[in-house]
Chains A and B, each alone.
Chain A
Amino acid sequence: MSALLEVEGLTKRFGGLVAVKDISFAVGAGEIVGLIGPNGSGKSTVMKLVMGIEKPNAGSVRIQGADVAGWPTHRIARAGVGLVFQHSRPLHRQTVLENIMLALLPDSLVRLRAGHEVERRAREIAGRVGLERVLDRFPATLPFADLRRMELARAVARDPKVVLVDEPFAGLTAAEVADFSALIRTFREAGHAVLLVDHNVKGVAALVDRIFAMYLGERVAEGSAEEVMRDETVRRVYLGGEIAHATRPAREAAGAAPLLDVQNVSVFYGKAQALEGVSLRINKGEFVSVVGLNGAGKTTLFNAISGLVPYQGSISFAGQTLARRSAATIARQGLVQCPESRELFGEMTVRENLELGGQHQSAQAMAERRDWLYGLFPILRERQGQAARTLSGGEQQMLAIARALMMRPSLLILDEPTLGLAPVILELLSRALETLRNSTDITVLLGEQNVTFALPHADRVYVLEHARIAWEGTPERFAAEAGAGLL
């Protein structure tokens, strides 16, 4: 079988970080391949390298035999590659029909009129994806699934040989997933090569012929969905080889008022629902983990708690409602989030970053706190004069946590601290969390997709799946009851 898309030795570095390391795979005509990996695995970078949105440092990308690596995006598109974006930004002043027609226009500065042929084809494509009833509406009035259909229509309008789909089913209901799967299967029947980029095997297993799994920029497994799910490395990446847990006696008597009480919280991003009726309680001194795949809604939950996104439902902290409080007020009350993206001040030194976290304290209190944190993360003491952006990923994560701790939080929210970090760094973070747990009365809410990292530091665990709490319980029961759902 001749491959329409052939990737060989693809490598991409961002500064010192190797995001994609020597990746090779091929997708043949009439084949659907799933490219999966957890966040930070480099799968999205591979997709961008194929589309030319990023330029590879090494390796080749062949479309029907022609090497297009390093070409500008619009030329790669014309060579026969189409990308269905996860987040579409349609033209809001144009109708759905015009949005689809855009994709059919020639790349010309002098062809001013679109012509009837373009309109006819746009209508035909709209019919194929199920948009015929909304052609004259504006994108802002469409339900989320129809926006995704429009995105699909735009990408297929040019009849690309190779179709890349970024997170095909994110934010869709079960019925819509079935519709989209059927549409994607029509590509296979028409002899296109399809690459589905997603977080986990489960989401795409029913659709794909093969799966290529990545972790930390490298290939970890390849084969049928069943083979990949059985693969030892994949299991370790998603579940951890052996799930460890270290329970300690509950600190608070049952029935005490919780420190954080989240009741029935829902969040919408435009039309997409990111959280659906989520409730959870955290008692004082508890370490609670929220585990879930990327896109499950962990970051949205934390942002709602921190007052960064509007929500429905109620959230109270230390007995007081957080409604109508600004994010800054909430943080000063002792509810501090260490965000997934770290948000360090790159041009400032390690020490300056820490001091910003301790601004509201007296000089002496700040110095004491800083020394205590240097004890927790000794590497930060060595690096204190360095600009934060020159630190390695692991050191940056430690600094982000330390800066959050500088604010003397009573509740610390850690959002995916392990994102993109090597195992040896995880070990260090793990030890620091254990120290916090055993020597302070801090309460921690940890969000993770890395279950191996999350469980040892948890008194209780919540599983977040498709915007809802799917399971809650103790770490000991997790492996038996909830583990399989995460592959």
Chain B
Amino acid sequence: MRTRNIFLSALGVAVLMALLPFLGVGGYVLGLLTSAFYFGVFAMGWDLLFGFAGEVNFGPSFLIGVGAYTAGLLNHYAHWPIVACVPLGALAAVVAGLLLAVPALRLSGPYFGLVTLVAVLLLQNVIVIFAGFTGGEIGLDLPDVLAISSRVNYWYALGLATVVGLALFALSRSAVGLILQASGQDAVEAAALGFNVVRHKLAAFCISALVSGLAGAMLIFYLGTVSTDSVVDIAIGVQVIIAAVLGGRRTILGAAVGAVFLIVAGELLRPVGQLSSFIVSAVALLVILFFPGGLLGRVIVREGA
């Protein structure tokens, strides 16, 4: 499909989704989709880094967690309003991400991924050790929430996912996106064409950190509490990665679809109890093994046969 058609289709889907609350969809389903949209943003940010810049970030929840905890602590202790806490959280994620990425991107091979993995564990440990201040494993209650109404919360999340999704998609199809893909696939050749590969990868990492931190900070004001289980735990990061790969690597929009699929499927299968996460994981495994392009791979990708 042409870039413009995909863009307009995605916008159309977003508009339709925005109308769902008027079509008699209840608060329970809206709540589910709200979480799914935040996950979708995490997954899209991850795909920009992995699918385009070619760097595997095993710790997406490090960026999400830094954004969430910065916003949460500012709100809890300083009582700053949400409109100040959320951008500061996103900014903190970028700064923390840079501190991590600048030395890590100088390493070659699997080390970048390992550094990001260790960073999550470190963040989780710091939060637990300073439990008196951070709330530790129990978490920290927030005085403010985004909205009481499930409809309004739904629209906030959908709005964020739409804006981030379309912006990242447009970026991925732009001239910069082209350079980024070249850097990810063959860094030596990209450099020989005169592109500063490290700078482009760093930029991708910053953008990835920005949207992850932003979504992390907004998510906690939807949940009303910030805890390691909801924004830092390794399992969160694993889910983000599965969602992105499931939806279709290097598609950006596929990552959001993957996230919605993962969360909705998990919920639909709740009646089967423990089996639900097993089934979802098995389906994810099958898709990755037999359709490595992912759910949206066939639709969005134009690859020579």
| A contact set with B: CB distance below 8 Å | 51-53, 72-74, 77-78, 82-83, 85, 88-89, 91-94, 98, 101-103, 105, 107-114, 137-141, 154-155, 157-158
Select one of A73, A89, A107 contacting B185, CB under 8 A.
A89
Q: A interface, by DSSP: helix, strand, loop or mixed? A: loop
Q: Do A82 and B192 touch (CB < 8 A)?
A: yes
Cβ of B189 to closest chain A Cβ, rounded Å: 6
Q: Specify the chain B residue showing the minimal Cβ separation from A106.
A: B175
In whole angstroms, how far apart are the Cα atoms of A72 and B198 in the complex?
11
Select one of B170, B189, B197, B303 contacting A92, CB under 8 A.
B303
* A-B complex: 7 closest residue pairs judged by Cβ atoms: A138-B304, A73-B191, A140-B304, A77-B194, A112-B174, A89-B186, A74-B191
Q: Do A109 and B203 touch (CB < 8 A)?
A: yes
Select one of A53, A88, A107 contacting B195, CB under 8 A.
A107
Q: Do A74 and B304 touch (CB < 8 A)?
A: no
Q: Do B193 and A72 touch (CB < 8 A)?
A: no
A73-B188, A82-B192 known; A112-B178 Cβ under 8 A: no
B125 at the interface (CB under 8 A from A): no
In whole angstroms, how far apart are the Cα atoms of A141 and B305 in the complex?
7
B8 at the interface (CB under 8 A from A): no
- Report A-chain residues with C-beta under 8 Å of the C-beta of B190: 74
| Most B C-beta atoms less than 10 A away, residue of A74, A88, A154 | A74
Select one of B181, B195, B199, B301 contacting A91, CB under 8 A.
B181
| Most A C-beta atoms less than 10 A away, residue of B175, B176, B182, B196 | B175
In whole angstroms, how far apart are the Cα atoms of A154 and B179 in the complex?
13
- Report A-chain residues with C-beta under 8 Å of the C-beta of B182: 91, 102
In whole angstroms, how far apart are the Cα atoms of A88 and B188 in the complex?
11
Q: Specify the chain A residue showing the minimal Cβ separation from B179.
A: A105
Select one of B178, B186, B194 contacting A74, CB under 8 A.
B194
- Report A-chain residues with C-beta under 8 Å of the C-beta of B176: 108-112
Q: Specify the chain A residue showing the minimal Cβ separation from B200.
A: A109
Q: What are 24 inter-chain pairs, A to B, with CB distance below 8 A? A: A51-B192, A53-B188, A53-B191, A73-B191, A73-B192, A77-B194, A85-B192, A88-B189, A91-B181, A91-B182, A92-B304, A93-B250, A93-B302, A94-B178, A94-B181, A107-B179, A107-B194, A109-B199, A111-B175, A112-B174, A112-B176, A113-B174, A137-B304, A138-B304
- Report B-chain residues with C-beta under 8 Å of the C-beta of A51: 192
A88-B189, A92-B303 known; A74-B197 Cβ under 8 A: yes
Query: Can you name 19 extra interface pairs (CB under 8 A) apart from A74-B195, A102-B182, A105-B195?
Result: A73-B188, A74-B196, A77-B193, A93-B250, A93-B301, A102-B193, A107-B194, A107-B196, A109-B176, A111-B175, A112-B174, A112-B175, A112-B176, A114-B178, A138-B305, A139-B304, A140-B305, A155-B192, A158-B193
In whole angstroms, how far apart are the Cα atoms of A93 and B173 in the complex?
11
Select one of A91, A138, A141 contacting B178, CB under 8 A.
A91
In whole angstroms, how far apart are the Cα atoms of A254 and B161 in the complex?
77
B171 at the interface (CB under 8 A from A): yes
- Report B-chain residues with C-beta under 8 Å of the C-beta of A157: 193
Q: Specify the chain A residue showing the minimal Cβ separation from B187.
A: A73
Cβ of A341 to closest chain B Cβ, rounded Å: 18
Cβ of A283 to closest chain B Cβ, rounded Å: 46
Q: Do B192 and A77 touch (CB < 8 A)?
A: yes
Q: Do A85 and B189 touch (CB < 8 A)?
A: yes
In whole angstroms, how far apart are the Cα atoms of A479 and B240 in the complex?
66
Cβ of A165 to closest chain B Cβ, rounded Å: 12
Cβ of A331 to closest chain B Cβ, rounded Å: 28
B-side interface residues, number (CB < 8 Å) = 30
Cβ of A5 to closest chain B Cβ, rounded Å: 15
Q: Do A53 and B304 touch (CB < 8 A)?
A: no
Q: Do B185 and A103 touch (CB < 8 A)?
A: no
- Report B-chain residues with C-beta under 8 Å of the C-beta of A98: 178
In whole angstroms, how far apart are the Cα atoms of A52 and B196 in the complex?
13
In whole angstroms, how far apart are the Cα atoms of A217 and B305 in the complex?
43
Q: Specify the chain B residue showing the minimal Cβ separation from A114.
A: B175
Q: Do B178 and A113 touch (CB < 8 A)?
A: no
Cβ of B296 to closest chain A Cβ, rounded Å: 13
Q: Do B192 and A113 touch (CB < 8 A)?
A: no
| Most A C-beta atoms less than 10 A away, residue of B174, B178, B181 | B178
Residues of chain B from 105 to 124 with CB closer than 8 A to chain A in the complex: none
Q: Specify the chain B residue showing the minimal Cβ separation from A92.
A: B303
Q: Specify the chain B residue showing the minimal Cβ separation from A72.
A: B191
Cβ of A167 to closest chain B Cβ, rounded Å: 15
- Report B-chain residues with C-beta under 8 Å of the C-beta of A102: 178-179, 182, 193
In whole angstroms, how far apart are the Cα atoms of A114 and B303 in the complex?
21
Q: Specify the chain A residue showing the minimal Cβ separation from B198.
A: A72
Q: Specify the chain A residue showing the minimal Cβ separation from B178.
A: A102
- Report A-chain residues with C-beta under 8 Å of the C-beta of B303: 92-93, 138, 140
Select one of A88, A103, A112 contacting B171, CB under 8 A.
A112
Q: Do A78 and B186 touch (CB < 8 A)?
A: no
Q: Specify the chain B residue showing the minimal Cβ separation from A151.
A: B189
Cβ of A94 to closest chain B Cβ, rounded Å: 7
In whole angstroms, how far apart are the Cα atoms of A114 and B173 in the complex?
11
In whole angstroms, how far apart are the Cα atoms of A107 and B214 in the complex?
28
- Report B-chain residues with C-beta under 8 Å of the C-beta of A53: 188, 191-192
Q: Specify the chain B residue showing the minimal Cβ separation from A113.
A: B175
Cβ of B193 to closest chain A Cβ, rounded Å: 5
Q: Do B191 and A77 touch (CB < 8 A)?
A: yes
- Report A-chain residues with C-beta under 8 Å of the C-beta of B196: 72, 74, 107
| Most B C-beta atoms less than 10 A away, residue of A52, A112, A154 | A112
In whole angstroms, how far apart are the Cα atoms of A56 and B196 in the complex?
20
In whole angstroms, how far apart are the Cα atoms of A85 and B188 in the complex?
10
Q: Specify the chain A residue showing the minimal Cβ separation from B192.
A: A83
- Report A-chain residues with C-beta under 8 Å of the C-beta of B194: 74, 77-78, 107, 158
Q: Specify the chain B residue showing the minimal Cβ separation from A110.
A: B176
In whole angstroms, how far apart are the Cα atoms of A330 and B150 in the complex?
65
Q: Specify the chain A residue showing the minimal Cβ separation from B174.
A: A112
Select one of B189, B203, B302 contacting A89, CB under 8 A.
B189
| Most B C-beta atoms less than 10 A away, residue of A109, A139, A155 | A109
In whole angstroms, how far apart are the Cα atoms of A89 and B193 in the complex?
13
| Mask of B261-305 contacts with A, CB within 8 angstroms, 1/0 | 000000000000000000000000000000000000000011111
Cβ of B220 to closest chain A Cβ, rounded Å: 30
- Report B-chain residues with C-beta under 8 Å of the C-beta of A77: 191-194
In whole angstroms, how far apart are the Cα atoms of A103 and B188 in the complex?
13
| Most A C-beta atoms less than 10 A away, residue of B182, B194, B200 | B194
- Report A-chain residues with C-beta under 8 Å of the C-beta of B301: 93
Q: Do B185 and A91 touch (CB < 8 A)?
A: yes
In whole angstroms, how far apart are the Cα atoms of A101 and B179 in the complex?
10
In whole angstroms, how far apart are the Cα atoms of A138 and B305 in the complex?
8
- Report A-chain residues with C-beta under 8 Å of the C-beta of B189: 85, 88-89
In whole angstroms, how far apart are the Cα atoms of A111 and B199 in the complex?
14
- Report A-chain residues with C-beta under 8 Å of the C-beta of B203: 109
A138-B303, A141-B305 known; A105-B192 Cβ under 8 A: no
| Mask of B196-234 contacts with A, CB within 8 angstroms, 1/0 | 110110010000000000000000000000000000000
